[in-house]
Amino acid sequence: MASSRAPCWVALLLFVALVATANGSELSAGYYEKTCPNVQHVVRSVMASRVAAQPRMAPAVLRLFFHDCFINGCDASVLLDATPSSPGEKDAEPNASLTGYTVIHDIKSALEHDCPATVSCADVIALASRDAVALLGGPTWSVPLGRKDSRFAADPESTKKGLPSPKDDLGELVTMFAELNLDARDMTALSGAHTVGMASCDTYRDRVYGPNGDIDPFFAQTTRQTCQGTSGKAPFDVQTPMRFDNAYYRNLIARRGLLTSDQTLYGGGGLQDNLVEMYSADGEAFARDFAKAMVKMGNIPPPKGMPVEVRLRCSMANY
């Protein structure tokens, strides 16, 4: 009788061990030093393999991290599938084009083999986004670890309101970033993530087709052609679309920002223009500030009282 009941107790103890409440505990680069010392090697190895096979997965994973942290903190809620009782953040309009989920799944599966029920999905995204930047030729940095995964996702409407829009102006962006304790310098550096990857035509159609004096005419003309192409997408940076460099800022000065929310960072004068000009001229300064801002953004915790855990599968809460 006792032996037949043991699995239930084991499951209960595991559940209790994994579930907690968000309390803003301190993160540490050495969080898994004893419990999963190989975590960084596993993440880096899977990322290198997947990006070698599909280079577009690097900017895709980086974008996942941004979309996760902006909604209820860096808690991997963006990875949760919808359930009959809870729609997922994946269902929100701005997240419809997100990819890279399978990369995170592969990393988590490898870690569950090596260190079962130990490494959170939120930490996987944080590490994978750092390695994505490095694989694209950008900087690397020490990632504070110890995040937990939320058990619930935000609803699609709240998710849409909480993410920057490609049509946002500078004031709207400053306000949105400030609500996350990210200042104008953080915002300008983090926006440099748009030095890699692509955007779909619906996000820049108004900018390249409409009457707009804040766009290079030749850039507008050539970019319109992408809306008529088979992919319906354009790279943020035509010259080096898969190299993490400071070309993004040179494009802004040349009035070749792809999105309205890109170009709005330059042209208004003052400190904001000074930042863009500095990053355009000094790639090392951009790399340093980007790394610092990524750590700062990655430290955004879930709301106090949010039930959190270490998910066994990133797409669903435990039990």
Q: How far apart are CA 143 and CA 124, in angstroms?
A: 11
Q: What is the mean pLDDT of residues 134-150?
A: 98
Angstrom distance (rounded) from CA 164 to CA 119: 29
Stretch 33-55: mean pLDDT: 98
Which token pair is 131? 């390695």
What's the domain count of the chain?
2
Annotated binding site for Ca(2+): 68, 73, 75, 77, 89, 195, 237, 240, 245
For the annotated binding site for substrate, the residues are: 164
CATH of the domain at 202: 1.10.420.10
Any idea which residue has 């929100």 for tokens?
92
Average pLDDT over residues 241-246: 98
Assess whether pLDDT exceeds 60 at residue 5: no
Shared domain for 45 and 148, answered yes or no, is yes
Q: Do 38 and 118 form a contact (C-beta atoms < 8 A)?
A: no
Q: Which amino acid is at 72?
A: N
Same domain assignment for residues 38 and 125: yes
For 202-212, what is each residue's pLDDT tens digit? 999 999 998 87
pLDDT of residue 61 exceeding 60, the answer is: yes
**Is 63 a residue whose pLDDT tops 50?**
yes
288, 275 Cβ separation under 8 angstroms: no
Q: Which residue has the tokens 């701005």?
A: 94
130 and 237 part of one domain: no
Decide if 13 is inside a domain. no
User: How many CA atoms does the CB half-sphere of 196 hold within 13 Å?
Assistant: 23
CA atoms of 93 and 160, how far apart (whole Å): 7
Residue 24 has pLDDT above 70, yes or no: no
Co-location of 143 and 45 in the same domain: yes
Which residues line the annotated binding site for heme b?
Answer: 194
Q: Which residues contact 308 (CB under 8 A, 6 or more apart)?
A: 19, 20, 21, 22, 75, 148, 149, 150, 151, 302
SS in 3 state form for 157-171? Answer: HHHHHHCCCCCCCHH
Going by C-alpha positions, the residue among 127, 133, 272 that lies closest to residue 196 is 133
Spatial contact of 201 and 233, defined as CB atoms under 8 Å apart: yes
User: Residue 274 sits in which domain range?
Assistant: 182-294
The answer to whether residues 304 and 283 belong to one domain is no
Annotated binding-site residues read 68, 73, 75, 77, 89, 164, 194-195, 237, 240, 245
21 pairs with which residues across the strands? 307
- pLDDT tens-digit series, residues 81-91: 998 888 899 98
- pLDDT of residue 2 exceeding 70, the answer is no
Q: Domain with 48 in it: what CATH number? A: 1.10.520.10
Number of H helices, E strands in the chain: 14, 5
**pLDDT surpasses 70 at 253:** yes
Verify whether residue 41 is a known catalytic residue: no
Section 49-56 average pLDDT? 98
How much is the pLDDT for 11?
39
| Among 166, 188, 174, residue whose Cα is nearest residue 246 | 188
| Residue 243 · residue 235 · CB < 8 Å | no
Residues in the chain: 319
Range in 101-115, 220-234, 245-259 the model is least confident about? 220-234
For position 192, what pLDDT does the model report? Answer: 98
Is residue 131 in some structural domain? yes
Q: Tell me the pLDDT band of 25, cut-offs 50, 70 and 90.
A: low
**Active-site choice (41, 67, 105, 113):** 67
Same domain, yes or no, for 227 and 156? no
Q: Indicate if 305 and 158 belong to the same structural domain.
A: yes
Q: Is residue 314 part of a domain?
A: no
